[in-house]
Amino acid sequence: MAACWVRLALVTVCLLPCRAQAAGKYSREKNEGTATGKGAIEFRIAKLNQVWEKAQRLQFSPVKLAELHSDLKIQEKDELNWKKLKADGLDEDGEKEAKLRRNFNVILTKYRLDGRKDAVPMDTNYLKDSMDSENDVFEDPKLEKLWNKATTSGKFNNDEVRKLRREFQHHQDKIQEYHILRETVSRNEDIYQNAISPSEAHVKEDLLHSKHAELKDKHRNVQASFERLRKLIHQGYDEDSEFSEPRVLELWDMAKRSNFTEDELDSIKEELKHFETKIEKHQHYQEQLDLSHQKLKHVETIGDKEHLSRNKEKYAMLTEKTKELGYKVKKHMQDLLARLSKGGLNHNEL
């Protein structure tokens, strides 16, 4: 009888580690990505989570984190859609995969998360402060020269100067995006060429043609944007213009240059009004998020637990709302550009 109890005890001891291991493997915390206490996993793709966690470690400002989150969400959606296409054999030449890789590299470089030694957090508060300075300089010499011409012309009042500065900054962002894409394409060109066997030469040519066509589109877009700024400096703002947001003005100019009918332009104008409202709402939440962050830091120094709890709740709410609106604005902009560039709109989408 004693021998039976000994054997039972040994079996129980042996089973305990197995149960512990199973609990670790199948626990709710593991499956929901909260086993380490860091909260739910933000993205379904591992490399996107790594980028997100790195940005948090670098202590990006709340608004910049929200901007990065929007870009990563769009990247995630595109990559998940691509996986479905690949499973159905609809990306045989690898063109969509190559574009996804380029887009991901653009995100890394844009936020300086590409592993270079000069990578530093891009603090939105710093960028905003520098934008308000009268002495700030645009990186592109042609843009800086045009800006000096605008500010010394006497054509623009204070409100128009602020609006104009947003347009110039938007153009500078486009220049940066173009240069990042050009560098990425150049860096990966040899990889694509060497990775494809000689028997697939036609596929190689299609890939290279696609990459360079994308670059040309970006370059044309930058040129058109600069020409618009040059014309604006010469003529001043149209007082009858129905839009004030740079991205919306750009889309409206793009629509007017296309061969749309009057009815189609009216339909586009209505959608752009909704889009501008969405952008303004997003900008409002960005400002509120910045203020909430500053207030939260102040309350933390005071040590008032009740106020701290309330401010943390408000900050969390504003963070999520800013992320959500940022994603919607960028996705809407992406969709509008794609549809307008084709020279027509699906009016069921309006």
Q: Are both 234 and 174 inside the same structural domain? A: yes
The answer to whether residues 47 and 114 touch, using CB atoms and an 8 Å cutoff, is: no
Asked if 193 and 78 count as a contact pair (C-beta separation under 8 A), the reply is no
Both 179 and 223 in one domain: the answer is: yes
Closest residue by Cα to residue 330 from 164, 161, 112, 173: 173
In terms of domains, do 116 and 185 share one? no
Please report whether residue 303 resides in a domain.
yes
- End-of-domain residue from the set 210, 241, 272: 241
User: Among 136, 144, 160, 150, which residue's Cα sits nearest to residue 231?
Assistant: 150
Q: Are residues 225 and 296 in the same domain?
A: no
Domain boundary, last residue among 96, 113, 136: 136
- Which string of b and e fits 204-217 if b means at least 16 CB within 10 Å? beebbebbeeebee
19, part of any domain: no
Single residue among 197, 213, 241 that ends a domain in this structure:
241
What pLDDT does residue 126 have?
A: 34
Kindly state whether residues 212 and 266 are assigned to the same domain.
no
Give the contacts of 51 (CB within 8 A, at least 6 positions apart): 68, 72, 107, 108, 113
**Same-domain status, 132 and 152:** no
Residues 284 and 327 in one domain: yes
Specify the DSSP class assigned to residue 137: -
Residue 7 lies in a domain: no
Name the amino acid, one letter, at 136.
D
What pLDDT is stored for residue 33 in this prediction? 39
Domain containing 291: what range? 261-331
In a domain? residue 163:
yes
Same domain, yes or no, for 214 and 294? Answer: no
State the pLDDT at residue 38.
Answer: 47
pLDDT at 205: 64
Confirm whether 251 is domain-assigned: no
3-state SS, one letter per residue, for 62-86: HHHHHHHHHHHHHHHHHHHHHHHHH
Place of tokens 């710093």: 126
pLDDT attached to residue 89: 81
128 belongs to a structural domain: yes
pLDDT tens-digit profile, the chain (350 residues)? 445 444 544 444 444 444 444 444 334 333 333 333 345 689 999 999 999 999 999 989 999 999 999 999 999 999 999 998 888 888 766 778 878 888 888 888 888 887 765 444 444 333 343 334 444 567 788 888 889 888 888 888 888 888 788 888 888 888 887 887 787 777 666 655 565 555 555 556 666 677 777 788 888 888 888 888 888 888 777 766 778 787 888 888 889 888 889 999 999 999 999 999 999 999 899 999 999 999 888 888 877 778 888 889 999 999 999 999 999 999 999 899 888 877 655 444 44
Please tell me whether residues 125 and 185 are part of one structural domain: no
Q: Are 29 and 35 in contact (CB under 8 A)?
A: yes
Count how many domains the chain has: 3
Of the candidates 141, 135, 134, the residue with the CA atom closest to the CA atom of residue 175? 141
Give a three-class secondary structure readout of 135-165. CCCCCCHHHHHHHHHHHHHCCCCHHHHHHHH
- CATH code assigned at 90: 1.20.81.10
280/210 same-domain check? no
Do 49 and 131 fall within a single domain? yes
CB 336 within 8 A of CB 275: yes
Q: Say whether both 155 and 234 belong to one domain.
A: yes
**Is residue 16 one of the residues assigned to a domain?**
no
26 lies in some domain: no
